[in-house]
Structure 1
């Protein structure tokens, strides 16, 4: 296996003041990447701010012989984000890699959740990632190169009690990735998503210590490094945790087609086993394929 190398690359990593973001920053810097360490310096629920966290990581990187600068932009504020991108370009001339890692938690069951907490979590995870991606997108198009990594979660793909806000935001990031990878492909912009399971401020109170010891952030960052290298894939959801690596894909069953006069709720119910049958299921890579599947059957006169 040849070594993964980064030739004069510049990366912005949001939420890099601790946990996974810190690990990502150190891992990329160790391979020669120049890093903008972004962190607002707030608590897990998003309250407060401090530049110290980002500055500490910069000091670590510099002590190891790497290059980094600190940035305290709030990813929910587009002016802050644009200034962060400008800072990177002023310093190093470009931005090659964006790691959208910043996030917060405000967990409660949906019945008890205030909509302000729902909105804030979506703003940080989803809108914050959109802001950062938008701020580098045209720059990457002009340069003919870009590697962007979103951060999703098992909560966004499978659900988790008490995390409707977090799950909605994380699911949105996967959907955003699936469209951006299509729009960026001809410009050599590859967009992927990381789904981590790791010990962090967000998880350390949720699991027993003997499990947390296995969930190292470094094992997740190994996957992150691959997703933003020159030979990175496009449109992948890479799951990583405790040394385990897998891919999440969305498949669609073959399903059925009902003739015009048979399109009733009762016939959907009568055929639900056929609709849910996984035999012959497919992975689609753009939204038009679903409609094409059904319409092709109509054209061929294929009805259940």
Structure 2
């Protein structure tokens, strides 16, 4: 399905990234496995995870190369794409999967923890995608697959930085789709449900949380990889600007913000009339303070 395509996967050394690299290669792609080998919080460097994935791909008869540049830097994004060009002569798809977590309740969150998460997720998605964009434009084709999260789409406790970054990726991905559509380039988001080191940081202080984590542990990364392979194929050239979710064997298409109610007056509004007329009229359609687990409350097995 992907014969002849060269695909960059950031955060490709572990979890969803690793499974994605292996499945892309299985379907014929040449893969750049980018991973700095940091911990769940993004700290540290270890080349082993990326190299191990590359070795596994080569042992199975595929082609791959390691990349250890950081997505958080402009030059890092350029270097990652250059690795694809230098090694394989082209770049066809970018899977923006690199991530970190520094959870904390909002009123205690540090500036450093906020900036670190946005730098990896949001800025990282921009840096690598922006480096690939001129090549996509020149060749008249290309695919971006960007990882978002229901923590941003719906909400979660203690993840203001992560939620902000993941919602930012949704807006960025849509802008990429709009700006590059005329060049035959697609851009879509995936909100994955799968066990990974990042999910492994979820607190398990009570039985409900322990049960939730136990269910997530059953959701394997290859379920997400299957959708990534599909979006990178030529058969999905018409699919762009969308937000998907994968939860075990379920695939979701998420809604996108659109007006659902309106209020109008020829006289113009005052604070008093807004509070007495508009808010009561809208109140039945207000969204509650839901978390991801409140919306996805059924057992996927």
| Rounded Cα–Cα distance in structure 1 between residues aligned with 2:29 and 2:177 | 23
Matches within 5 A, 1:226-265: 226-232=230-236, 233-265=239-271
Does 2:18 match 1:22?
yes
| Rounded Cα–Cα distance in structure 1 between residues aligned with 2:118 and 2:19 | 24
> Which of 131, 134, 155 is the aligned partner of 1:135?
131
Question: Is the 1:216–1:241 contact (alpha carbons within 8 Å) kept by the matching residues of 2?
Answer: no
Matches within 5 A, 1:86-105: 86-105=82-101
Question: Is the 1:16–1:24 contact (alpha carbons within 8 Å) kept by the matching residues of 2?
Answer: yes
Match of 1:271 in 2: 278
Length-normalised TM-score, structure 1: 0.86
Does 2:197 match 1:197?
no
Question: Is the 1:253–1:275 contact (alpha carbons within 8 Å) kept by the matching residues of 2?
Answer: no
Pair 273,189 (structure 1): closer, same or farther in 2 beyond 3 Å = farther
Q: Larger Cα Rg: Structure 1 or Structure 2?
A: 1
| Rounded Cα–Cα distance in structure 1 between residues aligned with 2:271 and 2:258 | 20
| Rounded Cα–Cα distance in structure 1 between residues aligned with 2:38 and 2:138 | 34
Match of 2:104 in 1: 108
Does 2:228 match 1:221?
no
Question: Is the 2:72–2:124 contact (alpha carbons within 8 Å) kept by the matching residues of 1?
Answer: yes
> Which of 3, 9, 15 is the aligned partner of 1:13?
9
Structure with more relative contact order (C-alpha pairs < 8 Å, separation 6 or more)? 2
Unaligned runs of 5+ in 1: 279-304
SS at match of 1:140: helix
Match of 1:211 in 2: 215
SS at match of 1:262: coil
Match of 1:63 in 2: 59
SS at match of 2:200: coil
